[in-house]
Amino acid sequence: MVGGGRAVLAAGALLLLAGAAPAADTRAVTDSAGRRAEVPARVERVYAAGGPASIFLYTLAPEKMLGWNRPLSAEERVFVPARFAELPTLGRLTGRGNTANVEVVLAARPDLVFDYGALTATYRSLADRTQQQIGVPYLLFDGGLSAIPATYTRVGDLLGVGGRGRELGRYAERLLAETDRRVARVPAAQRPRVYYARGPKGLETAAGGSINVESLERLGARNVAEMPGGLATVSPEQVLGWDPEIIIAIDPAFVGSVRADPLWKNVRAVRDGRVYLVPQAPFPWVDFPPSVNRLIGLKWLGRIFYPEQFPEDLRQETRAFYTLFYHQAPTEAQLDTLLAGVERSRP
C-alpha cells in the first residue's frame, strides 16, 4: 500500500509538471503603455510594426528581424551589412498608409510584434486590435528620447540580448546627459529660433511638443512653428513672418532649390546661408522616422546651434556611432557625404 501510494504521488507529480510545462514556455510582459501580453520565453522572430520600430530592432537585434517595413534604397544599403540589407520588405502596420495586412504578418510567423514610438490612444488601440486579430503578442514601447536608455535595457532582456541592450542604453544615457549639461550652459536668449522643414517645398513642419521635433527641442531650439497639433502644412508667408535664424530640412530637393526661390529669399536663415540638410543614410538623423537614429543627430544639431559647446570631432563621433549601432563602420567617403551639410553651410 505504501508503494502504491508513492506511485500515485509520483504520477500526480508528473501530471502537475506536464500541466505546468506550457506556462514555462511563456512569460507575462507589460509594455510601456501598460498593456500585458504572454510572450514566448525565447523570442527569435520579431515583426517590427513601423519605421521607428524597425530601426530600433535593427540596432539591437538584427538577427531577429523578419524584414524591413520598406525597401532600402541603394544609398541606404551601402551603410548596412549585406545580410541585413537583403531582408525582405514586409510593410508596416503603423504610420500613414500602412502597407501590411494580417495575412502578411501571419505568413512571417512572428513570435512577437514590436512597436516603438508614441504612446497615444491611437497606437494603443491599434496594438490591441492587431493582437486580437492575429493571435500574436503585440508590445508597444516608449519612443521618446529620454526613454531610450531604459527601453534598450527592457527590450534587450525581452529578446534575450540583455548585454547588447545595456551597452546601447549606456551610450544613449551618456549622450543625453552630456547634451543636457551643455545646453544648460547656453542662456535662453542665445538659443536659436529654428524652422523645421519637411517635404520638397519645405512647407510641412511640426509643432512644438511633437516627437518629430523632439531632437531640436532637446537642444533648446525655439521652434518658430506656433500652432497646435503635430505635423501641419504652412505657407511661405507664415515662414517669412516667423523669420527663423536656422532652417533644418530633411528633403534634398528643398535644400537644393531654396536659395533661388523668390518665396524664400527674404527669410533670414536663407539670406544668412543657414539652411542645413539633415544627413540621410541609412536613416535621417532628426526624424522620418523618429527613432534611435536621432541620437547621432543630437551631436550634429549641437554643432550647428552651439559650436563652442560641441567642439568634438564630429567625424569620429559619427564613425563610432555607426559602428556600434548600425553594425558597420562608414568609409571616409561616406563620412564626407554625411557631414558635408555642416562643413559647407556653417556661417
C-alpha 113/C-alpha 142 separation (Å) is: 15
Contact status, residue 223 vs residue 194, Cβ threshold 8 Å: yes
Angstrom distance (rounded) from CA 244 to CA 104: 45
Average pLDDT over residues 307-323: 97
Average pLDDT, the chain: 91
Query: Each residue of 243-275: pLDDT tens digit?
Result: 999 999 999 999 999 999 999 999 999 999 999
The superfamily CATH assigns to domain 187-345 is: Nitrogenase molybdenum iron protein domain (3.40.50.1980)
- What is the reported pLDDT for 347? 39
- Each domain of the chain, given as residue ranges in start order, spans 24-173, 187-345
Q: What is the CATH number of domain 24-173?
A: 3.40.50.1980
Can you tell me the mean pLDDT for 28-48?
A: 98
Nearest CA among 60, 298, 266 for reference residue 180: 298
Do the domains at 24-173 and 187-345 have one common CATH topology?
A: yes
| Mean pLDDT within 57-68 | 98
Q: Please give the average per-residue pLDDT across 232-247, as a whole number.
A: 96
Which of 44, 50, 75, 78 lies closest to 326 in space, CA to CA?
Answer: 78
Question: Which residue's entry shows cell 560641441?
Answer: 310
Per-residue pLDDT reduced to its tens digit, 103-144: 899 999 999 999 999 999 999 999 999 999 999 999 999 999
Portion of the chain with pLDDT greater than 70, in percent: 91
Q: What is the pLDDT of residue 343?
A: 52
- 53 to 47, 76, 111, 164, 321: CA distances (angstroms): 9, 17, 15, 17, 18
**Range 237-246 average pLDDT:** 97
Overall residue count recorded for the chain in this entry: 347
344 has a pLDDT exceeding 70: no
